[in-house]
Structure 1
């Protein structure tokens, strides 16, 4: 079974991803690549592509709802690490549900996590 997020990617094309500048290069050697972030507020950066409409993170590769991947998965900022997929760990995720709805995808269910 492939991870449902690898078929989805909706959260990467629905929300602004704002994070503290210290999560990006050069401040953090293994952080978000500097070229993929843009200034947002005094101490915040945003992933490029998420600060304007239509939202689509520059690090998202593929087609939302069909097959996607984050090209900087190991370097992704805290908001991306913290947004959990619905039912992955046995609990609902309103953010996941909202992102999927933006793209006309049904909410994930516990059945989506069964092998």
Structure 2
């Protein structure tokens, strides 16, 4: 299990905004694309993963328990902000701290 599969803090900390072309059927979608029903519209050019802007954020695509075992239910189709995020970002440790996890 990778460190990300035992963490999930980023999915319960950060807002995930991206362009609608990454939605299912979009011109720049990976895999099947992000399902429309897992997003909320922000502007004509931005959609957001549902749950990521809540008072207690948690991406609708996240399954499992933070800090124990988690998975992304749309991993092969996840949007670009999720693809670009990794444990090398300082934001990773900020998310871990927010969720009560030790830094990497």
TM-score of the aligned structures, taking structure 2 as reference length: 0.91
Over alpha carbons, which structure has the higher Rg? 1
Q: Which structure 2 segments of 5+ residues have no match?
A: none
2:95 to 80, 95, 99: 99
How do 1:1-115 and structure 2 match up within 5 A? 2-27=1-26, 28=29, 30-86=32-88, 93-108=89-104
Note the C-alpha offset of 1:52.
1.9
Q: Which structure 1 segments of 5+ residues have no match?
A: 87-92, 109-115
RMSD (Å), alpha carbons: 1.2
CA contact (8 A) 1:24 1:33 kept: yes
List structure 1 segments (4+ residues) > 2 angstroms apart after TM superposition: 26-29
Q: Distance in 2 between matches of 1:84 and 1:41?
A: 27
CA contact (8 A) 1:12 1:56 kept: yes
Q: Distance in 2 between matches of 1:62 and 1:34?
A: 22
Task: List per-residue Cα deviations over 1:43-101 (Å, max 9, x = no partner).
Answer: 00000000221100000000000110000000000000000113xxxxxx211011101
TM-score of the aligned structures, taking structure 1 as reference length: 0.83
